[in-house]
Chains A and B, each alone.
Chain A
Amino acid sequence: GAVVSQHPSRVICKSGTSVKIECRSLDFQATTMFWYRQFPKQSLMLMATSNEGSKATYEQGVEKDKFLINHASLTLSTLTVTSAHPEDSSFYICSAPGPSEKQFFGPGTRLTVL
């Protein structure tokens, strides 16, 4: 089946630093990728839709200047959390629509901001 990788799987950083998360479709092309965030005991919430070759679309309440998204190629989207703060600590997951109209999830990135 189609595979989506995500790196890093876990990151711990100091408050004020920036963290980049990569999402790659390994064996298919994805013009669109989705970024979700999940706080403890909460549902996955869509943050933004990443579009190859154009600007990302952000959900209401998600700051585009804080969560920078770059969809550089048909297989790679990156999410950069700029000037991270403890309240940004969460589980970040990407997904990409793949074969058979299914969506394929990356394994997620657990971010802890101290």
Chain B
Amino acid sequence: RKEVEQDPGPFNVPEGATVAFNCTYSNSASQSFFWYRQDCRKEPKLLMSVYSSGNEDGRFTAQLNRASQYISLLIRDSKLSDSATYLCVVTLNSGNTPLVFGKGTRLSVIA
């Protein structure tokens, strides 16, 4: 079983749509959770951290369910510029431990 599993997509959605991504992780000792965005042939960039209480950053909402080891990302009012691969990432510690990445979910927002 992979440590972090994501639906690879692709998700093809029109501008303005709401889209949701899900992710599950296998290591119950994981302490920190993130969503990263990766554009083609580029390094991943941190989109947002994920907390059990849920957190929102503009059009993006992330949720963590520790009991079911499940992480979600909701994007509202999709923009063309949101087209990218979204990586679900977990780590044992947010500091000096390496990140464990999912394969990513590809999103294409269409005009």
Contacts and interface: CB of A to CB of B under 8 A. Distances in A.
Interface of A: 32, 34, 36, 41-46, 49, 91, 93, 95, 97, 101-103, 105-108, 110
B107 to A, nearest CB: 15
Given A43-B4, A93-B43, A108-B43, A102 B94 contact: yes
Interface string B79-111: 000000001000000111011111110000000
Interface residues of B, number: 19
7 contacts: A34-B99, A43-B87, A93-B43, A93-B44, A95-B99, A105-B45, A107-B42
Contact of B98 (A34, A91, A106): A34
Contacts, number: 44
Nearest to B45: A105
Main secondary structure of the interface of A (DSSP, over half): strand
A107 B43 contact: yes
Given A42-B103, A43-B104, A49 B44 contact: no
A108 B42 contact: yes
Nearest to A47: B98
A98 to B, nearest CB: 10
